[in-house]
Amino acid sequence: MKTLIFRTIAPFLAALMVLFSVFVTLRGHNEPGGGFIGGLIAASAFAIHGIAAGVHSVRRTLYFRPLSLAAFGLMLAGLSGLLSILFRVPFLTGLWAFPEIFGVELALSTPMFFDIGVYFVVLGALASIALTLEE
């Protein structure tokens, strides 16, 4: 697998895939996509990078341990549900805010953060599995 072309392209491919995964995740609420798909794409990106450039390189690129990322995601999802406590509504109730920044309306919501949490859990757990097996 360690052909020259693959090794050269892999980091760029991985970077592109990660970028794409973020895009897919964020648009997920309105168009096809979402945290599960985004996380899978990102995990595949790291798996490919790992095959091409070695696990060590991926771990350095990731900086955080994959399982820590997954734990962070789980915590983010849980907290976005817990936020509803402050508004005295049931756990995981969707809360929305539409602030305007520089004239652009942003849709901030707890389901979005929840989805980002899903993204990190899937990314972290699957990347961790893939990297552990590649070692």
Partner 1 sequence: MVLDFSDYTFWALAAPFAAAAIAPVAKKYLGHNAAWLLALVPAAIFLHLWNYILPVSNGTPVVLATDWIPLYNVKFSIFIDGLSLLFALLISGIGTLIILYAGGYLKGHADQGRFLSFLFLFMGSMLGVVLADNLITLFIYWELTSITSFLLIGFNHKLEASRRAAIQALVVTGGGGLALLAGFILMAHTGGSWEMSELLGNRDILKDSPIYTAILLLVLGGAFTKSAQFPFHFWLPNAMEAPTPVSAYLHSATMVKAGVYLLMRVNPILGDTVLWSTILPIFGGLTLLIGTWMALRQRDLKLVLAFTTVASLGLLVMLVGTSNEKAITGAVMYLFAHALFKGGLFMIVGTIDHEAGTRDLTRLGGLRKLMPISFITAILAALSMGGLWPMIGFIAKEEVYAGIFGTSPHFIAITAVAVLGNAMMFAAGFLVAVRPFFGHERTTPKKAHEGPMLLIAGPIVLSSLGLITMIFGGFTAHSLLAPMASSVAGVQAHVKIGFGLHFNTALALSAVTVVLGLVFYKGADKIRNAKGYLIEFLGKGPDKGFDYVIAGLVRGAAGVTRVLQNGNMESYLTFTFLITAAAILLPLIGWNELPTMPQIPALHFYEWGVLGLALVGLIAILIAKDRLTAIVSLGIQGFAVALIFMLFGAPDLSFTQFMVETLSVVIIALVMTRLSLKEHDPRPLYQFLLDALVAVAIGGGMALLLISVTQVPFDPSLSNFFTENSRLIAHGRNIVNVIIVDFRGLDTLGEIAVVMITGLAVVALIRGTRHAYRKNVDPLDDMMNNEGADK
Partner 2 sequence: MEILLALLVGAYFGVSVYLMMSRYIIRILIGVAILGNGVNLLIFTSGRLTREKPPIIPEGSMVPEVITANPLPQALILTAIVISFSFLAFLLVLAFRTYQELGTDNTIEMRVAEPDNEAFPPVSY
Q: Which two tokens stand for residue 81?
A: 């549900």
Residue 125 as a binder of partner 2 (CB under 8 A): the answer is yes
Kindly give the residue spans of alpha helices, DSSP state H, lying in 28-109: 35-53, 55-62, 66-82
Residue 8 as a binder of partner 1 (CB under 8 A): the answer is no
- Tell me how far, at minimum, the Cβ of 41 lies from partner 2, in Å: 12
How far apart (Å, rounded) are the C-alpha atoms in residues 30 and 98? Answer: 16
Query: Per-residue string for binding with partner 2, 76-115, x by CB under 8 A?
Result: ----------------------------------------
Which residue in 13, 22, 40, 92 binds partner 2 (CB under 8 A)? 40
Q: Which two tokens stand for residue 97?
A: 């805010």
